[in-house]
Chains A and B, each alone.
Chain A
Amino acid sequence: MKFRPHVIYPVLILLVAAATVGVMLLLQNINQRMAEAEETVFRVTEISEATVDPAEWGQNYPRQYDSYQRTVDMERTRHGGSEAFQRLDEDPVWRTIFAGYAFGVDYREDRGHAYMLADQDITVRVKIVKQPGSCLHCHSAVLPAYYEQGVAAGVPADEAHRQEAIFAGFEIVSSMPYTVARPLVEHPITCGDCHDPETMQLRITRPAFFYGIQALARSAAPLPHLPSIERWRADGQQGEYDPNTLASRQEMRSFVCAQCHVEYYFKGEEKIVTYPWDEGLLVEEIETYYDTVGHTDWVHKMSGAPVLKAQHPEFELWSQGIHARSGVACADCHMPYKREGAVKVSDHHVRSPLLNVAAACQTCHNFPEGEMKARAEAIQDRTVALMNRAEEAINALILDLQTAQAAGIPAEQLTAAQEYQRKAQWRLDFIAAENSNGFHAPQESARSLAEAIDYARQGQLALANVTPVVALR
């Protein structure tokens, strides 16, 4: 073949040029990664305590804001998820268990954080029952409203009295009717509810959590998973326990969630949101508290029993589990770190870890995703099976009580069985209303459900003892 320089050389030059383009692209990529690693935060706007709109915070923290916005996503997991399906249709026995209570009319699965305020507006529960402003404590970015109400009530409007104003506003707003309080808020949970606007440090803002965790700290309940409280106790219990100054960052990564994901009730005529932790966090310790203060959520319409409604005791149940004891915080699984380029951020798309197994589980558990998911679902399947049995047992007790009442048996002979219903139903609901289907503490969940089944059947036995069984049927 003839050597043709005017063909060979241009081809070679083009090849070298193409390779050079490749090198330049690589250089650009390397520079981008290096820049990402150096960039931390650009303050393009000023954030203050008064900044409620998360979009404004998002200008400074676009990565966190992006994932925060994704809490609008709706996705089912095997037993739960973030889709608002009607649980009363899924499992109609709950209509019987909640008879006479607003939850017996509307009991939808909760959706993501983005919907907390909208869902509160549309639930039938708010329409058929007059609800208090207390709901806003956890369904909205309520801090500025508390502050303004506190200031309006006479607390000085300066930084030194901010906390005092918020606490005063908390009591004022809680006592308002819901419809009066609702216009005071605009957004669901926002950045400032968990973050200091100056430093972005995690912080506790919710008055009910302050009161609750202080009562818990003063209690005798062992709290090995909350070392800062154990330390405060060992140091002689100086003043009140303050999570914002005493808790470690890892504890705060659970506490900020525990500001709302807890069992609560509205105390007294003022309807003050109260976390019932004076005796401890166990299901029977909270029951003891309710029995002591004489709290009853409603009188069961079919059985006449004074019963309790559990809310969503995620913090309480997590506290009994192996993950809490191993120092794993809520955020470790529900907001695991993710990487965008060379930047590491915590995922603000708060959701079920079952939808994000690699980041949620595999950081600690070196097993395939399928295996981790199967382990979690095995726990949930077993818990749900026990739950179903407990529901059936309580349903049977309720029907027996109804029959006994219809048969004209004197009220005092039904008291023991009604007490058993209260105990059984509380233990079932504590696990059913909790949002992990047992995963947060599998053995504790099983214990609670086993007791629920036992108390329900004991209730039936109590009825059989005071009345000829034949008369009942």
Chain B
Amino acid sequence: MRRLSGFWPWLLSLAVGLFLGLAGYTFYHAQGASYLSNDPRACVNCHIMREQYDGWQKASHHAVATCNDCHVPHEFFRKYFSKAENGFWHSRGFTLQDFHEPIRIKPHNRVILQENCVGCHTNLVSQIATHAGNDQRMLDCVRCHPSVGHGPTQ
């Protein structure tokens, strides 16, 4: 009996080790670490946002803002929570191939975007209450300035 119970921990260790190794390799192979960075190229790893990325290269904000500057919150905790949440939905969508096309920004991500517009342009718009996320009270900046981030449509 004692010899048998001594055998199990070894086997479990082997199984867990194999799992961690394979999981680690998959993470590396899928460039998992790049998603923690601010590098815009990470956003085109999976090709879905190729148009948005290409458009950004030609857009007026190219020189001053990257994907994360506009699309994720700037505070540490909210930033990585937002990355984790979007990362989950994006991975799920790309794996199962079941998302709406053309892709659309989610309402709460639009609020983040609007906050980030105002975050940088605060001097300019300080005399206007911009009501991020509330269409009834004010339109988002990108409603009338749609090309600043991803360039002109078409």
Contact = CB atoms under 8 A, between A and B. Distances in A.
A359 B101 contact: yes
B4 interface: yes
A33 interface: yes
B153 interface: yes
Interface in B79-94: 94
Interface in A16-30: 16-17, 19-20, 23-24, 26-27, 29-30
B95 A29 contact: yes
Contacts of A12: 12, 15
A5 B2 CA distance: 10
Interface residues of A, number: 35
A249 interface: no
With a 10 A CB-CB cut-off, give which of B16, B94, B154 has the most chain A CB atoms. B154
B22 A13 contact: no
B154 A27 contact: no
Interface stretch (A82-90, A338-346, A422-430): A338-346
Contacts of A2: none
Contacts of B153: 363-364
Contacts of B94: 33
Contacts of B22: 20, 23-24, 27
B8 A37 contact: no
B107 interface: no
Contacts of B18: 16, 20
A358 interface: yes
Contacts of A13: 11-12, 15
A16 B12 contact: yes
A12 B16 CA distance: 9
B108 interface: no
B61 to A, nearest CB: 18
A42 interface: no
Interface string A246-287: 000000000000000000000000000000000000000000
B145 interface: no
Contacts of A245: none
A362 B26 contact: no
A30 B15 contact: no
A9 B100 contact: no
Interface string B1-37: 0001100110110011011001101100110000000
The prevalent SS among residues of B at the interface is helix
Contacts of B101: 338-339, 358-359
Contacts of A224: none
Nearest to B30: A30
Interface stretch (A101-109, A211-219, A326-334): A326-334
Contact of B29 (A30, A326, A332): A30
B97 A341 contact: yes
A340 to B, nearest CB: 9
B26 A366 contact: no
B104 interface: yes
A363 B154 CA distance: 9
A468 B16 CA distance: 103
Nearest to A340: B97
B15 A23 contact: no
Interface string B47-76: 110100000000000000000000000000
A20 B94 CA distance: 20
A6 interface: yes
Nearest to B23: A23
B29 A17 contact: no
A364 B153 CA distance: 6
B29 to A, nearest CB: 7
Nearest to B17: A16
A146 to B, nearest CB: 35
A334 to B, nearest CB: 15
Contact of A30 (B19, B26, B97, B100): B26
B100 A358 contact: yes
Contact of A363 (B15, B48, B102): B102
B46 interface: yes
A234 B146 CA distance: 33
With a 10 A CB-CB cut-off, give which of B22, B46, B48, B94 has the most chain A CB atoms. B22
B19 A23 contact: yes
B47 A342 contact: yes
Contacts of B50: 344
A341 B47 CA distance: 10
A13 B13 CA distance: 9
Contact of B47 (A16, A17, A37, A327): A37
Contacts of B104: 362, 366
Contact of A16 (B8, B15, B26, B100): B15
A375 B48 CA distance: 28
B15 A358 contact: no
A5 B8 contact: yes
A6 B19 CA distance: 21
B101 to A, nearest CB: 6
Interface in A350-383: 358-359, 362-364, 366
With a 10 A CB-CB cut-off, give which of A16, A19, A341 has the most chain B CB atoms. A16
The 9 closest A-B pairs by CB, nearest first: A9-B8, A5-B5, A16-B15, A27-B26, A342-B47, A20-B19, A13-B15, A364-B153, A30-B30
Given A9-B8, A27-B26, A326-B154, 15 more contacts: A6-B5, A6-B8, A12-B12, A20-B22, A23-B23, A27-B25, A29-B95, A31-B29, A33-B46, A33-B47, A37-B47, A332-B154, A358-B101, A364-B153, A366-B104
